[in-house]
Amino acid sequence: MKNGLITVVVLLLLTALPAFSESVIVKAPSTARYAESVVKSALEETGYTVLTSDGLSAFAITLDESKSLEKEAFSITVADKAIALSGGGRRGLIYAAFEFRDQLRATPKLDDLLDAAKTPALGFRAIKHNLPWESYRSSSALDQHFESVRSLDYWRAFLDMMAENRFNALTLWNLHPFPYMIRPNNFPEASAFTESELEDWRHFYTSLFRMAKERGIETYLVNWNVLVSKAFADAHELEGTNYYPYYKGRKDQVGEAQTSELVKKYTRESVTQVLEEYPDLTGFGFSFGEQMGGMTPQERQSWIDDTIIAGMRAVDRPVKMIFRAPFSAGLGQGGSTDKATETLTREAIERLGDTFDGPIWMEIKFNWSHGHSTTDLIKVHGGELKDTYFEPVPENYRVAWMVRNEDFFALRWGSASFIREHVQKNGVQPYVGGYFLGSENYIPAKDYFTAREGEVEWSYAFQRQWLFYRLWGQLLYDPETPNSQFEHDFVYRYGDAAKSLLRAYEYASDIQLKFATSIDFSWDATLYSEGMMVIGRQGMEPMSVRRLIAQPTLRSDWLSVGDYVQRELAGDVIHESLMTPPILARQMRSDARSALAIVKRIPADSVSLEYEIGDIKIWAYLGLYYAEKLEGAMALERYELAGDASDKDAAVAHLTRSLDYWDDLIEISEPLYKPMPLTHHNPPNNVRNDDNLFHWSKLRPAIARDLEVAIAAEYEPVSSTKRLDP
Amino acid sequence: MITLQLSQKSLRMSLALSVTLLVFLSFAAQGETVYILPDRALPQAEYASERLKQELKTSGYSIVSSPSEYDHLISLSVNDVTLGVEAFSVIPQGKILTIYGGDGRGVIYGALAVAERLRNGESLSDIEPFAESPSLSLRAIKHNFPWDSYRPSKALDQHYDTVRDLKYWEAFLDMMADNRFNALTLWNLHPWVYMIKPRNFPEASPFSEEELVQWRQLHEGIFRMAKQRGIDTYLVPWNIFVSKEFVAAHDVGHVNTYPYYNTKADGSELIKRYVRESVAQVLEEYPDLSGLGLSHSEGMGGWMPEQRDAWLKETYLAAIQSVDRPVKLIHKVPSSAGKSMDGSTSVETETLVRSTLESIDYVDGPIWLSGKYNWSHGHSTSNFVRVHGGELHDTYFKPKPTNYKFVWIVRNEDFFALRWGVPSFIRDHISKNGRASAIGGYIVGSETYIPALDYFTAADVKPTWRYAFERQWLFYKLWGRLLYNPETPDSLFAQAFTGRYGAAGRNLLRAFELASATPLRLASFFDATWDHTLYSEGMLALGDKTLDYISVDRLISRPTLDPDLVSIADYVNAERNNTSLPEQGVTPHQLAETLESDCKEALGLVSEIDPDGDLALTYEIADVRAWAHLGLHLAEKIRGGVDLELYRQGAPESHKLSAVTHLEKALAHWDDLIEVTRPLYRDMRLTHTIGSSKSLNPDGYFHWSHLRPDVVKDIEVAKRARIE
């Protein structure tokens, strides 16, 4: 660590030398303090002297908001020694400042600074960040973040990261935020806190919202319904368990909703009071679940109209709204869609007209809980989405795709091409306004992954995943952002040799995307890509060879192992446009080899870089492992259907190699990663599972069983004939 | 007789049953705890919850302040999502009873509706879901002040102390809230100096600092209490008026001060400034006052409508624009289209008013454009005939107005002593006149009467009521509740009687419906215009100059107000000339028939009620009887009048004899009327006795007994009749 630090300092001194003695004046209006501070620290970091008062200076940098620029747009204009940073509004100016910083980091001489101008492609670029109190699920994987998330230092860092990546909205999700923020005027019994405890919470939330505002970041609370505090439920002896840790109706999720008028009043008034007591809070979002079992879609809509929307409407200031697409078209809460519910929902939003500071952001989960899979929209929460929300083009709302990440928390990820393609396919329609990025089962606060504690430069989990946020944020703002910009980021962090890491991440991340696309997932815990795990009867488990044979894929143009082998044995011609398991295996292997080849050439001369390289290696070995498993599964299926002993041998050979790769993966990951609590280990109900640690090493016995399965496989002609029969 | 005994028996049984039920119900409630959850942000919630608490305590519940251990929780709050303004809904869910209002008023109405159910014997656990929403937006009371009153009269002066007392207003405003009236309009010639010392005209004030403080407390108290109850307040002065002290100091407006009321305009600039500044200062110093009324009268004689309109723009409207607060506005339909103040209408004047209204975009709208329904005698027919001054053209209605609504002033200058209540009349009225989208509501009240001091009751027992309006509770309940919701069933009003008097009260609603139709029938049959031209309960009308008993001769010759009725003269004329009568026209005989049958039925309904020492019930029964006898008297007089006129127009002698017989019967009914009313009613001051000029008898009294000689005269007239 110490050595690394010295190297960085020396490096900085060397690169900064040409500018060392030059002085700069920075002029900014008082409304642009944050942008000004970004510019000044960039200058100081590069070695320029920022003059505090007027005097002779080599450069003059002026920051100002410009009326001629569209909202969030910015420009940098260089005229000899005068540099003008202009922004469309406060946010645009902040982006100009970061652009200036990034240029300076790439070329540390003001003389070499280039003109720049950008406008946003998408107006809404949000982070979904869950809170560890009243969390959606109850899990030590979430609880462990309490201290970090209560710390304003954490938020300062997180919000800085958001601002520099041009995310413009922070959405904060938990079951029931109100009693942490207010003592409801008419329901003081709802808050279990003492006055001084509540004061601490108030200070926390107020500061968080203020800091976000300073950085040009909107803030939203998003809750679930119908929920109350336990203190409220106890005071009024409510039937049911509509409070943390119960996030779903108790039993079969039907007939459990709490529809009492008292709860409606409490909800409505709490929404109003929160928005009134926190003037820097931008808006509110709401869910049509998960404790709305037994209600019809119309009843759910009416409940929301009467409570949250009415509460928001009652506030005498501009308020923005996130309207989440309903999860269910029936009485249950499990997830379903239909045209009638979509029509009802669209009408409900359109009825709001321009009551709110629009557009209303209609949140729809892109490919349910596993948006990091394919760039084509296959399903939303509950199933297929019709075009009701899109046609005709809505006037008062815009769709904001929720791209969830329930797939990689430990491993760094970054596929610029996936994001660009995603935005090009799904972000250009007139009804689309933007994206949400984030997780339900993961909070990017405490670093509970890193085994080499004390040796790394980051403090928080999200800082490990800097590339993920960098790519998503910058490319949502401008999908044309070239790869060179991200390569500069690597160079800035790790030196010239690290430039090719971007490409290595492309390959590594592609393995994850392909794995996810090959599985017909649905809700959060149906898939966990970085563990190559799926949900089984006993909970999360590695994809077994038997399951893999039968496993349907997400896309209809991807063939499952079982389908493919049957067609192959039947002599069917398989159209070349289809993705088959052999092609998938080949591509995964190729991705893995390419990634490994790149990182092999990069000297791991810092612990941080060791982790970057380590993560790429882990992804690569996951790819190699899975390619062998795919091939093993195909061979096993061929053997069991056709009885050719060489197929059995092949299966055993592939699965042996597969296990070998897994062992390599364990060897790479063990020194880097601790066993990590994983929310996915909770069963699909309100029960908490504290036996929830994940590490690749823990999966070895299950993976070794696949080999035993292949060794023990027997050809049974009768049953296989039957199986061949259509 | 047997039927009667049976019904008496069943009456007692049901009385016993309801007593048992009440005892049982209050026993059930005894000791049960209620937590009232108000909406602390809602200004009206405290009043709603206080009223509810009182009723709960009376019903045996105890109120607790802990939000956790309770048997019942009553939640009061606004829900403007599912409910419109002033609407409410009551939703019981287990031990939680939710009362939602579409706004603060709706919350009050919901809470008072629950209180009403408790009063009628339901327990909290019995309450089923129910909801109501308003039919008309403005449901106002016209209430005159006895200081600087429109006319000088002891009938008005006598209320001074009562109306100066905030306890009176508290009771009156409670009554208004109970009956869902949402606006109190306060009328007198010149209110300003009672409320402020004009900054630039301190000399205009008649009061010492100390006196003014008392006046301020009064006005502030009225406005504040009204606001708490969800009631808007308006001052409705006349113009151009100033204070005597202003006249003395500046030598202007000599005829523009109380007691002048129908007088010449004084266009002095100083008066304009004084009025403009006074209006603005009142609006500033009384933030709880909701708004003002504009009158193009009565001290604007000698001017043309344009001058009046211009004066109001320079004074009131300029003042409203100058203040930094929302102001609501009532604009009275001008009572004159010419230079005199005696009453006339024209399309030109209406066009002028409409254009002024449409230029006003600075008030808290809609503006209420008020016109008198059938001039000063709205309690007549539900067929609209005229406003003050004459015909109402369609100027105000076509094209459809956008920033104002028309509201009907339904005046009562016809019954002050006798209790009144005809729900079918009010329902019919609203159905015919209150449904159009341009109609915003009603203003109900009197000019010649103030419902404050009870100057009627002669009983030596101390009554249970304190104020005059409390005697007329049915009048207010019917108007208020039916304006809010014309579908309100009779059963609700019937329950109000049984709530007050137990089973003994169960026939009373029907009895009032039948008997108190009498003044409506008289006023429909006997055409009247301004205030003093008719006083129905006294069978009095303005003669040449004085207020006189309606003699048979006047009854014969008088045209009807209601075009559906046929006057005696027209009827006899048609009979004699064999010409046809208007189709569906109600003949005098048919009217007499209806009166007789209704009044007899009413007498039957009350004949067996034993007030059993209940003074209020004694009065209720007596008033039904008084109306019935008055109605029977009128029926006989109509019949006598027809026979008399037929005889005069050449019909056989038998008609004369018949006329005498009918008029003798009429006298007998009058005597019955005196017998019923003499022990219960004092001689009562009556503004109408002023007659046609303020110089006449301003301090007159009325009692039916004093009119007996005039009634007798009719018989003499008939006996002396000759063929013409």
> For A182-196, what is the mean pLDDT?
95
Domain's final residue, options A85, A101, A118: A118
Query: In angstroms, rounded to a whole number, what is the distance separating the alpha carbons of residues B5 and B429?
Result: 39
Query: Is A653 inside any structural domain?
Result: yes
Q: Looking at the complex, does the CB of residue A305 fall below 8 Å from at least one CB of chain B?
A: yes
Contact B121, B19 (CB under 8 A): no
A584: nearest Cα among A633, A515, A491, A637: A515
CA distance A352 to A284: 15
Residues of B with CB under 8 A from a CB of A: 37-41, 67-68, 73, 75, 77, 79-82, 91, 93-94, 96, 98, 100
* Span B255-280, pLDDT tens digits: 999 999 999 999 999 999 999 999 99
Q: Same domain for A468 and A514?
A: no
**Model confidence over B536-558: pLDDT tens digits?**
999 999 998 899 999 999 999 99
- Are residues A331 and A445 part of one domain? yes
Task: Indicate if A356 and A244 belong to the same structural domain.
Answer: yes
Residues of chain B with Cβ-Cβ distance to A303 below 8 Å are none
Q: Are residues A341 and A435 in the same domain?
A: yes
What is the pLDDT at residue A717? 80
Q: How far is B82 from chain A (nearest CA, A)?
A: 7
Question: Of the candidates B40, B81, B93, which has its C-beta nearest A261's C-beta?
Answer: B93
CB-CB neighbors (< 8 A) of A311 in chain B: none
For residue A533, being part of any structural domain is answered with yes
pLDDT, position B6: 37
Q: Binning pLDDT at 50, 70 and 90, where does residue B694 land?
A: low
Question: Do B405 and B440 contact (CB within 8 A), yes or no?
Answer: yes
Q: Read off the pLDDT band of A240 (50, 70, 90).
A: confident
Answer whether residue B105 shows pLDDT above 50: yes
Q: Do A265 and B77 touch (CB under 8 A)?
A: yes
Three state DSSP letters for B698-711 = CCCEECHHHHHHHH
Please indicate, yes or no, if residue A503 is contained in any of the structural domains. Answer: no
A186 and B CB contact within 8 Å: yes
* Percentage of chain A modeled with pLDDT above 70: 95
Least confident of A316-330, A561-575, B692-706: B692-706
Among A84, A100, A118, the domain-final residue is A118
pLDDT at A724 over 80: no
Note whether A262 contacts B37, CB cutoff 8 Å. Answer: yes
Query: Which residue on chain A is closest to B103 by alpha carbon?
Result: A314
Tell whether A533 and A583 lie within a shared domain: yes
Q: Which of A67, A91, A118 is the last residue of a domain?
A: A118
Q: Which residues of B touch A302 (CB under 8 A)?
A: 82
Out of B39, B81, B93, the one facing A306 most closely (by C-beta) is: B81
Answer for the pair A373, A421: CB distance below 8 angstroms, yes or no.
no
| Tokens (6 digits) for B511 | 């009895």
Determine contact: A235 vs chain B, CB below 8 A: yes
The full DSSP string for A204-217 is: HHHHHHHHHHHTT-
Q: ∠ at Cα B198 (B192, B200), nearest 5°?
A: 145
More confident residue, B114 or B582: B114
Residue B445 tokens read as 């009240």
Classify the phi-psi angles of B722: left when phi > 0, otherwise alpha if psi is within -120 to 50, otherwise beta.
Answer: beta
Find the residue in B nearest to A264 (Cα).
Answer: B79
Distance separating alpha carbons of residues A276 and A513, to the nearest angstrom: 43
**Predicted local confidence at residue A235, as pLDDT:** 94
Nearest chain A residue to B70 by CA distance is: A236
Min distance B40 CA to chain A CA atoms (Å): 6
Show residues of chain A in contact with B39, CB under 8 Å.
Answer: 186, 269
Q: pLDDT tens, A52-89?
A: 777 778 899 999 999 999 999 999 999 989 999 999 99
d(CA A26, CA A20): 17
Of the candidates B138, B189, B662, the one whose C-alpha atom is nearest the C-alpha of residue B438 is: B138
Residue B121: pLDDT band with limits 50, 70, 90: confident
CATH code: domain of residue A108: 3.30.379.10
Average pLDDT of the residues in A19-40: 88
Contact state of A236 with B91 under an 8 Å Cβ cutoff: no
The pLDDT of residue B343 is 87
Residue B69: closest CA among chain A residues belongs to which residue? A235
Residues of chain B contacting residue A265, judged by C-beta atoms under 8 Å apart: 37, 75, 77, 79, 98
Same-domain check for residues A296 and A205: yes
Which of A189, A269, A306 faces B67 most closely, judged by CB atoms? A189
Instruction: List all residues 6 or more positions away from A721 whose beta carbon is below 8 Å from its beta carbon.
Output: none
| Over residues A148-153, mean pLDDT | 98
Disruptive mutation site among A236, A259, A270 for chain B (greatest number of B CBs within 10 Å): A236
Q: What is the pLDDT of residues A442-491, one digit of tens each?
A: 999 999 999 998 889 999 999 999 999 999 999 999 999 999 999 999 99
* Alpha helices per DSSP H over B74-126: 104-119
Q: Residues B498-533: pLDDT tens digits?
A: 989 999 999 999 999 999 999 999 999 999 999 999
Q: What is the DSSP letter of B3?
A: H
Q: Do A287 and A311 fall within a single domain?
A: yes
Q: Which residue of A has its CA nearest to B71?
A: A236
What pLDDT does residue B584 have?
Answer: 79
| Model confidence band, residue B695 (pLDDT cutoffs 50, 70, 90) | low
In angstroms, the Cα distances linking A393 to A320, A400, A496, B716 are: 20, 14, 47, 89
Say which CATH number the domain at A277 has.
Answer: 3.20.20.80
What distance in Å separates residue A269's CA from the closest CA in chain B? 9
Contacts of residue A236 in chain B, CB cutoff 8 Å? 67-68, 73, 96
Q: Taking CA atoms, what residue in B is nearest to A184?
A: B40
| Average pLDDT over every residue of A158-163 | 98
Give the single-character DSSP code of A256: -
- The count of structural domains within chain A is 3
pLDDT at B1: 33
CB B272 within 8 Å of CB B215: no
Tokens of A62: 């002026």
**A88 shares a domain with A220:** no
pLDDT above 80: residue B579: yes
pLDDT tens-place string over residues A538-569: 899 999 999 999 999 999 999 999 999 999 99
pLDDT of residue B7: 41
Chain A CB contacts of B80 below 8 Å = 310, 313-314
Q: Are A261 and B73 an interchain contact pair (Cβ–Cβ within 8 Å)?
A: no
Q: Which residue has the higher pLDDT, A329 or A558?
A: A558
Q: pLDDT digits over B281-295, tens only? A: 999 999 999 999 999
Residue A250, pLDDT score: 65
Q: Which pLDDT score, from 0 to 100, does residue B341 have?
A: 85
- The rounded distance, in Å, linking the Cα atoms of A275 and A282 is 8
The domain of A252 spans: 124-481
The mean pLDDT value for A206-226 works out to 97
Q: What integer pLDDT is reported at residue A475 of this predicted model?
A: 98
pLDDT at A52: 79
Please say if the pLDDT value at position A17 is more than 50: no
Could you tell me which chain B residue has the CA closest to the CA of A237?
A: B68
Question: Residue B692's pLDDT band (boundaries 50, 70, 90)?
Answer: confident
Chain B CB contacts of A261 under 8 Å are 75, 91, 93, 96, 98, 100
ipTM for the whole complex: 0.78
Mean pLDDT of chain B: 93
- Residues B389 and B608: their CA atoms lie apart, in Å, by 47
pLDDT at residue A254 in the model = 58
The reply to whether A725 falls in a domain is no
Strand order in the sheet with A527-528: A527-528, A533-536, A539-542
Contact of A265 with chain B, judged by CB distance below 8 Å, is answered with yes
Q: Are B80 and A310 an interchain contact pair (Cβ–Cβ within 8 Å)?
A: yes
| pLDDT range class, residue A643, cuts 50, 70, 90 | very high
- Give B191→chain A minimum CA distance, Å: 36
- Assess A236–B contact: CB distance below 8 Å, yes or no: yes
User: What does the pLDDT read at residue A58?
Assistant: 85
Cβ separation A306–B79 shorter than 8 A: yes
Question: Are A191 and A209 within one domain?
Answer: yes
Q: Looking at CA atoms only, how far is residue A310 from chain B in angstroms?
A: 6
Residue in this structure with the two tokens 């089962």, named with its chain if needed: A441
Summarised one tens digit per residue, pLDDT across range B294-325 is 999 999 999 999 999 999 999 999 999 999 99
A145 and A62 in a single domain? The answer is no
Q: How many CB pairs under 8 A join A and B?
A: 55
What is the percent of chain B with per-residue pLDDT over 90, rounded to a whole number? Answer: 87
Q: At residue B703, does pLDDT exceed 80? A: yes
Of all residues in chain B, the one with the smallest CA distance to A269 is B39
Q: Which of B40, B42, B71, B77 to mutate to test the interface with A (most CBs of A within 10 A)?
A: B77
Residue A670 covered by a domain:
yes
A269: contact with B, CB 8 A cutoff:
yes
The answer on A172 and A257 residing in a single domain is yes
When pLDDT is averaged across residues A690-713 and rounded to a whole number, the result is 97
According to DSSP, the residues that pair with A76 across neighbouring strands are A85, A116
Structure confidence at residue A57 (pLDDT): 82
Out of A1-5, A115-119, A593-597, B647-651, least confident range: A1-5
CB contact under 8 A, A262 and B91: no
Q: Domain for residue A499, yes or no? A: no
Q: Is residue A504 part of a domain?
A: no
List the single best residue of B37, B77, B81 to mutate versus A (max A Cβ within 10 A).
B81
Is the Cβ pair B100, A186 closer than 8 Å?
A: no
**pLDDT at residue A721 greater than cutoff 50:** no
pLDDT value of residue A722: 44
Q: Supply the pLDDT for residue B507.
A: 95
Closest-CA residue of B relative to A351 is: B81
DSSP state, A289? E
* Per-residue pLDDT, A720: 47
- Any B CB within 8 A of A189 CB: yes
| Same domain? A536 vs A645 | yes
Nearest neighbour of B68 by CB, restricted to A186, A235, A305: A235
